[in-house]
Chains A and B, each alone.
Chain A
Amino acid sequence: MGICLFINPIKGAGDDLPDIGSHAPNTAFVDQYDLDKTDLSQFAALILPAHIDQRFLGTRSDQITTFLDQGGTLVFNGHVAWPMLPELKPFVPLERQSLENLMIYRVNHHPVFDGVDCNDLTFKRGVAGFYARGSNPPPDGAIPLHVLGKEQLVCDWLYERPKGGRILMHSGNDLWMYIGSQNSTSRIVPQLCAWAGGE
């Protein structure tokens, strides 16, 4: 299984990053500003947290494009504000954050979400909105995985690039916020690392 390289996110509150490594065996970590000194060819996947300096990432677009062209997997969490790749477009929020608009629906199955109940994605302690509140619009040819409410805004998608590599998009909080959860969402992180690592 290939190694998933997680970019360490910006720290802030100090108590908000769970230990991913103990939930998946194939992980490595690097600080975001050390990306330019990192040889990505040794990794199967580059996994970006929501808390990241997208302006800096934009300066590494050639490096990331080469990584993708060579067959790498990019996993993006968060809202696109500074598009750093041609496949990424700025985040579009829901026009109205009603409960019905915040409901998560699966439109295509994917191994990362195998066995994950959409109700567990929509609600956290009975409150909707933690999973996603809008869409990083998918490029033409992307496969939608999860959509939001009646507007059918695509919040998760998979794009197999014609030039090689693939991008898994999650337009919301870090998927690893579900580490240690007591419901079906606890399946996400091990399945994400297995899939991204090319199992």
Chain B
Amino acid sequence: MGKIAIIDTGTYYHHRVIHEDRFGHFFDQAIYILDLCKTDLSAITTLIVPCRTDPAHLVAHRKLFADFLNDGKTVVAMGSTGPDKWLDDINWRFTPTNFWWWKEGGSLNLEIAEPEHSLFDYVKLADATWHHHGLLTPPAGATSLINANKAGSIFYDDRVTSPGRKIVTTLDPMYHHGNHFMPATSRFLDGFLPWLKSQ
């Protein structure tokens, strides 16, 4: 089974995800952001960039991520990390974040785009439903798993644009779980991380 590493930016919300009991055991290695350039990634097969990692600190590592993918490995880019700035072939666009749809009687209009995908053996759409930060247009040949408003993807699986795999989402569950806020985000991680481990 592959080894999963996650970047730790030293924020309290990453601390709760990476270093506390509920999810800490999913990660074989935590890599402090300032140590990324000197970390040996040879034994790592999946590298997670958790929500709200400042893209300014990732741009300098573009080659590291590209090399990692060229080795046939998996990069997971979570929400609010600006993946278009540090990964190739990412098409992300800003959309105003709808935090209040559930108070205003509206809907995020999320839909599962690929019901047979193994992610949905682990994650229910309701547990992916809080808000999202922008929309993605998956590259040709990649598979969108969750779409919003029929306007774009908020979660896709790309096995085509590199020898590796890019899992890209605009959901930010680690940030909100780390804030002890929005229980759906914790339930999302209850499914998402075991799924990732199963890959």
List chain A positions with a Cβ less than 8 A from chain B.
10-15, 50-57, 78-82, 91, 93-94, 97, 125-127, 129, 133-134, 173
Contact = CB atoms under 8 A, between A and B. Distances in A.
Q: Which among A13, A52, A127 has the greatest number of chain B C-beta atoms within 10 A?
A: A13
Contact of A12 (B33, B51, B96): B51
B10 A13 contact: no
B12 A50 contact: yes
B54 A54 contact: no
Contacts of A50: 11-12
Contacts of B19: 81
Contacts of A56: 10, 34
In which size bucket is the chain B interface? 20 to 34
A53 B33 CA distance: 9
B147 interface: no
Chain B residues touching A, majority SS: loop
Contacts of B13: 79
B52 interface: yes
Among B9, B33, B172, chain A packs the most CB atoms within 10 A around the CB of B9
Contact of B52 (A12, A78, A81, A133): A12
B181 interface: yes
A173 B133 CA distance: 19
Nearest to A49: B11
Contacts of A51: 11, 52
